[in-house]
Amino acid sequence: MSVTSVPPVPLSRRVLPLVMLSPAVLVTLAIVFLPMVQALWMSLHDYVLFRPKNFDFVGLKNFIAVWQDPVFWTSLRHTVIWIAITVPAQMLLGLATALLLNQNFPWRGLARALVIIPWALPSVVIALMWVWIYDSNFGVLNELMLRFNMISAAIPWLANPDTALYAIILTLTWQGFPFFAVMILAGLQSIPQSYYEAASIDGASQFRQFWHITLPGLSGVLMTATLLRVIWVANSIDVIYVMTGGGPGYSTYTLPLYALVKARTGLDYGYGSALAVSFTILLLGFVILYLRRAGRNIA
Amino acid sequence: MTFATKKTTPRRMTLAAAMLAGTALAGAVQAAEVNFWYHFDNADNPMSALVEKFEAENPGITINAENVPWNSYYDQLYTSIVAGTGPDAALVKLNAQPRLIEMGALAPLDDWLAEWDGKAEVQDNLFTLTAAADGAQYYLPVQYVILYLYYRTDMFAELGLTPPATCDEFREAAKALTRDTDGDGQTDVYGFGFRGGKGGHDHWASLTVSRDGAGFGPGELTSEAGVAGTQFVLDLFQKDKVFPPSAPNDGFKEIIGAFQGGQTAMTIHHIGSSAGMVEALGDKVAATPVPECGGGHWTSFGDESTAVFSDAQDKEAAWKWISFLSSPGNNAEFNKATGQLPVTKSDSASWDGHDKVFVDATVASLPYAQLLPNTSETADFANTVWPVAMQRALIGEITAAEMNAEIDALYND
């Protein structure tokens, strides 16, 4: 038995990757980690912006207040509903769209380009557009539903606490589904055609082919895209802010929005930071669980 | 040719340093910049004409005037001041003054005012109204408005109604005006466009705080009169259904748009929107003071001043700019852009920027126009506490008494 000795890697080769990575790492540290540490530090203080000279350390007081704050629990419930409906709805719609766009039909290239439009539009534009769609006086949604006798009176979709959150969820679903569609379309094209041909020869139905070839083939893409969307949707406040500002009352408050209102409008940066840190910990816990579970399933 | 090497003496060095400093100072004076923040609803505002005129009259001073969106104006102002990136001077409202003073952000104007010729030109009571609690003057008035009731003359005439003078008349008129005009079974005109979103506290206060015994003092809002006022507003929405269903979320754009579009027959705003109203509705729109409710009258005095910030890079230049805006002639130009009313006596005397009916309604409202309490809590009241409490009350999550208790607790606990 012979032992082959591996030649030592020169120092320059070992250091080079670190040197190449360092600008990106430094920038990330400066614009992501530093503000995170600052937020954590502020959350342990009483810090109201219009009293900038008072910066008293209060330990976990803000976190205890968060725990006892009914608006925190309302916002948390809305955040869970917000993520639990929006992300699966975007995924299903994206999956259906990708399957359609993967078929051969005339103008397929144009259809693929058009489907990306909602994703490419700025959130503020989308929010304003949907505010008009939902408008109780001039909105096209009420107009159509009244014409088809689906409702007997115009519904103030965004001013009714029972419908406001779901109306915004529909808006965000529309905005985000192209992301899933594009990702899934790329995944579909990476599944070898020979799998389908073999399954077809064995007599597998279309549904069986989808269930046993397409879905397993897409699992990696779906896992990554879902994780990204959960994080993005959870943190998304621009559409809510423009459409309702969190109202009526607390009907459309989510945790990031509540943190923003407390810090930026209420100028209570100590409490706002405690809300943001609490939410980050909750989201981080979910992401870790998800990665473990999804990673195991894929393996 | 020989050059004698001169020995550098301390005196020469001092002289050279002084010359350098002098040159630098001269450069600084020449390059004085004033970053000025303001907010105009009017998209094609002619601020640049005023800036050009000022710069021509004051060579060496450059004005960087930035129109900051109203919705986030104060959020941005406070955070930028703390971050050290705030403006040198800005348009400011009185309810922001206590916070700005607490932050140490404002420069007192008293010394400049004492020497300023234009002081006597500013209407007498405005300096009293805008004086700070510590006795100093930090604000220089630049425009004002008073809220009144807009109504549709054609709809009132059609139904034989007269402009409401009391809350009872207001309610009856609103009920009569709420109707289905095209026979499709749907209400398409509502009696009153209520602003349930941010900024709507003026509507609520006119119908609530006006009542005898109601106000912002301890226990006044939780008194019988205070609760009756808020209940009156809730009944208009929940029982009489005279507000559009979107009222809980409606802001400035919505109430003005609905009134101009004929979806509402009355709303409360000020002379600043009158030009747009006349453009949209011609002589079908008029104005009258807000109704008297529960034995009293209350309407909002909408102040707007300018201030110099304590961190301004050149306070003298900033003062020159803001005093320019409050001087006769310039103040009229400024107010033609904002659609509000000038603060100088001569501009007021020759003012022709608005139709007479709106000026008359403003003047008639002057005797009972009020400001919100001049305390730090008012910013919270206007930005967060009132909008959320009002929306929750309108959608039935809390009662009128609970809503008033929240506001009372903010001011008095």
Tens digits of residue pLDDT in B49-92: 899 999 999 999 999 999 998 778 888 999 899 889 999 999 99
Which chain B residue has its CA at the smallest distance from A156's CA? B246
Judge residue B14's burial from the number of C-beta atoms within 10 Å of its C-beta, 0-12 exposed, 13-18 middle, 19 or more buried: exposed
Structure tokens at A38: 């600052």
The pLDDT of residue B24 is above 80: no
A160 Cα to chain B: minimum distance (Å):
7
By Cβ distance, the residue of B103, B250, B383 closest to A52 is B103
Asked whether residue B291 is domain-assigned, the answer is yes
Mean pLDDT of B214-222: 94
Q: Which domains does chain A have, with CATH numbers?
A: 61-298 (1.10.3720.10)
Task: Write the single-letter amino acid at B54.
Answer: F
Beta-strand runs (E) in chain A:
45-46, 56-57
Query: From the CA of B344, how many Å to the nearest CA of chain A?
Result: 32
B110 lies in the same domain as B207: no
Domain that holds residue B353: 32-144+302-358
A interface residues, B as partner, C-beta within 8 Å: 49-52, 135-138, 146, 152-156, 158-161, 244-251, 261, 264-267
- CB A51 to CB B102 under 8 A? yes
Q: Which of A47, A48, A49, A50 to mutate to test the interface with B (most CBs of B within 10 A)?
A: A50
Are B372 and B400 found together in one domain?
A: yes
Closest by Cα among A174, A294, A250 to B398? A250
- Say whether both B218 and B323 belong to one domain: no
- The two most distant CA atoms of chain B are separated, in Å, by 108
d(Cα B95, Cα B91) in Å, to the nearest integer? 12
Q: What six digits make up the tokens of B380?
A: 């919270």
Sheet strands (E) in B262-329: 266-269, 285-288, 299-308
CA B162 – CA A115 distance, rounded (Å): 55
∠A221-A222-A227 over CA atoms, to 5°? 105
Which DSSP symbol is given to B373? -
Nearest 5 degrees, angle CA A157-CA A88-CA A159? Answer: 10
Same-domain check for residues B216 and B267:
yes
Mean pLDDT of B304-329: 95
Q: Select, from the ranges A51-55, A202-206, B51-55, B355-359, the one with the highest average predicted confidence (pLDDT).
A: B51-55
Of A51, A52, A154, the CB nearest to B245: A154
CA B383 to chain CA centroid, nearest Å: 13
Please indicate whether, in this complex, the C-beta atoms of A136 and B75 are within 8 angstroms of each other: no
**What pLDDT, on a 0 to 100 scale, did the predictor assign at position A4?**
60
Q: How far apart are CA A137 and CA A140, in angstroms?
A: 9
Nearest by CB: B75 against A146, A156, A264 = A264
B-chain residue closest to A47, CA distance: B82
**B70 touching A (Cβ < 8 Å):** no
Q: Cβ atoms within 10 A of the Cβ of A189, count?
A: 10
- Region A157-165 average pLDDT: 94
The per-residue pLDDT for B336 is 85
Query: Do both B257 and B387 map to the same domain?
Result: yes
Residue B128: its pLDDT value, please? 85
Verify whether the Cβ–Cβ distance B103 to A51 is below 8 Å. yes
Domain containing residue B66: CATH number: 3.40.190.10
| Among B351, B349, B319, CA closest to B332 | B351
For chain B, report the end-to-end CA distance as a whole number of angstroms.
Answer: 87
Contacts of B78 in chain A (CB under 8 A): 49-50, 267
Q: Spell out which residues of chain B touch residue A52, defining contact as CB-CB under 8 Å.
A: 82, 103
Q: Which of B401, B409, B42, B391 is CA-nearest to residue B201?
A: B391
* % of chain B at pLDDT higher than 70: 91
Q: Closest Cα partner for A51 from B142, B102, B347, B3?
A: B102
Helix, strand, coil percent values for chain B (each to nearest 5): 50, 15, 35
Q: A–B: how many Cβ contacts below 8 A?
A: 89
In a domain, B399, yes or no: yes
Q: Residue A263: which residues within 8 A CB-CB, separation 6 or more? A: A269, A271, A272, A273, A275, A276
Q: What does the mean pLDDT of chain B come to?
A: 88
- State whether A265 and B384 contact (CB < 8 Å): yes
Q: At what angle do helices A70-101 and A215-235 cross, to 10 degrees?
A: 140
B178 and B277 both lie in a single domain: yes
Backbone angles phi, psi at B54, to 5 degrees: -65, -45
Token pair of B376, please?
């730090």
Q: What is the pLDDT of residue B22?
A: 46
Of residues A103 and B157, more confidently modeled: B157
Q: Which residue among B358, B378, B402 closes a domain?
A: B358
Rounded mean pLDDT of B233-247?
Answer: 96
Partners of A173 in beta bridges: none
Nearest to A221 by CA among A193, A185, A250: A185
**Residues whose CB is less than 8 angstroms from the CB of residue B103 and which lie 6 or more positions away in sequence, other chains included:** A49, A50, A51, A52, B78, B81, B82
User: Does residue B8 lie in a domain region?
Assistant: no
Residues of B in contact with A272 (CB under 8 A): none
Kindly state the DSSP code that residue A9 receives in the 8-state scheme. Answer: P
Signed CA dihedral, A11, A17, A23, A27: sign only: negative
For an interface test with B, give the residue of A238, A265, A269, A273 to mutate (most B CBs within 10 A). Answer: A265
**Across the interface, do B397 and A249 touch by the CB < 8 Å criterion?**
yes
- Judge: B391–A248 Cβ closer than 8 Å, yes or no: yes
Are B384 and A261 within 8 A, CB to CB? yes
Window from A49-63, A169-183, A275-289 with minimum mean pLDDT: A49-63
If asked whether residues B94 and B234 sit together in one domain, one would say no
Quick one: pLDDT at residue B70?
79
Give the per-residue pLDDT at B44: 61
**Do B319 and B337 sit in the same domain of this protein?**
yes
Residue spans of alpha helices (H) in B150-273 = 153-158, 167-177, 201-208, 224-238, 252-260
Question: CB A267 to CB B78 under 8 A?
Answer: yes
Residues of B in contact with A244 (CB under 8 A): 249
Q: Closest to B245 (Cβ–Cβ): which among A138, A159, A246?
A: A159
Query: Domain for residue B26, yes or no?
Result: no
Please tell me the predicted confidence (pLDDT) of residue B340.
Answer: 87
What pLDDT digit, counting tens, does each position of A113-131 carry?
999 999 999 999 999 999 9
Could you say which of B244, B245, B249 has the minimum Cβ distance to residue A247?
Answer: B249
Q: For residues B342 and B374, state if they share a domain.
A: no
| A71-93 mean pLDDT | 96
The arithmetic mean of pLDDT across residues B215-225, rounded, is: 95
Q: How confident is the model at residue B371 (pLDDT cuts 50, 70, 90)?
A: confident
Q: How confident is the model at residue B233 (pLDDT cuts 50, 70, 90)?
A: very high
Distance between CA atoms of residues B270 and B143, nearest Å: 12
Assess whether B158 and B283 both reside in one domain: yes
Does residue B404 surpass a pLDDT of 90? yes
Residue A166 C-alpha, separation from nearest chain B C-alpha, in angstroms: 16
pLDDT (0 to 100) of residue B42: 62
pLDDT per residue over B264-294, tens digit each? 999 999 998 998 999 999 999 999 999 999 9
- For tokens 């001011």, what's the residue? B411
The reply to whether B245 touches chain A by the CB within 8 Å rule is: yes
B193 interface with A at CB cutoff 8 Å: no
Average pLDDT over residues A136-146: 88
pLDDT, residue A12, reads 81
B258 touching A (Cβ < 8 Å) = yes
Q: What is the DSSP letter of B266?
A: E
**B375, pLDDT greater than 90:** no
Confidence of residue A65 (pLDDT cuts 50, 70, 90): very high
Q: Which of B78, B243, B388 to mutate to test the interface with A (most CBs of A within 10 A)?
A: B388
- Mutation to test the A interface, candidates B181, B395, B399, most A Cβ within 10 Å: B395
Q: What is the Cα–Cα distance from B36 to A7, expressed in whole angstroms?
A: 67
How far is A134 from A154, CA to CA, in rounded Å? 10
Cβ atoms of B385 and B413 closer than 8 Å: no
Q: Which residue of A has its CA nearest to B250?
A: A159
Max mean pLDDT range (B3-17, B247-261, B345-359): B247-261
> Which chain A residues are closer than 8 Å to B82 by Cβ?
49, 52
Residue positions counted in chain B: 413
Kindly list the distances between the CA atom of residue A27 and the CA atoms of A21, A24, A30, B155, in Å, as whole numbers in the listed order.
10, 5, 5, 63
The yes-or-no verdict on residue B41 having pLDDT over 80 is no
- Expressed in percent and rounded to 5, the helix, strand and coil fractions of chain A are 70, 0, 25
Residue B100's pLDDT band (boundaries 50, 70, 90)?
very high
Residue B8: strand, helix, or coil: coil
Number of domains in chain B: 2
Please indicate if any CB of chain A lies within 8 Å of the CB of B82.
Answer: yes
Name the band, by pLDDT with cuts 50, 70 and 90, for residue B21.
Answer: very low
Test A136 with B78 for CB contact under 8 angstroms: no
Sequence-distant contacts of B316-320: CB under 8 A, at least 24 apart: B317/B32, B317/B33, B317/B34, B317/B58, B317/B61, B317/B88, B318/B34, B318/B36, B318/B88, B318/B89, B319/B89, B319/B109, B319/B112, B320/B54, B320/B58, B320/B61
**Contact between B380 and A266 using a beta-carbon 8 Å cutoff:** yes
pLDDT tier, B23 (very low <50, low <70, confident <90, very high otherwise) = very low
In a domain, B123, yes or no: yes
Does any domain span residue B184? yes
Asked if the Cβ–Cβ distance from B245 to A158 is below 8 Å, we say: no
pLDDT of amino acid A299: 55
Looking at the structure, do residues B195 and B229 belong to the same domain, yes or no?
Answer: yes
A159 and B246 Cβ atoms separated by less than 8 Å: yes
Q: Find the angle CA(B178)-CA(B181)-CA(B182) to the nearest 5 degrees.
A: 145
- Mean pLDDT, residues B132-154 taken together: 93
Residue B14 pLDDT class (50, 70, 90 cuts): very low
Tell me which chain B residues have a C-beta less than 8 angstroms from the C-beta of A261.
Answer: 384
User: Would you say residue B16 lies in a domain?
Assistant: no
Residue B392 to residue A250, Cβ atoms within 8 A: yes
Residue B1 has pLDDT above 70, yes or no: no
Q: Are B108 and B37 within one domain?
A: yes
Report pLDDT for B5.
39
Please report whether residue B331 resides in a domain.
yes
For residue A1, what pLDDT band results from cuts at 50, 70 and 90? very low
Determine how many CB atoms are found less than 10 A away from the CB of residue A42: 22
User: Strand, coil or helix: what is B190?
Assistant: strand
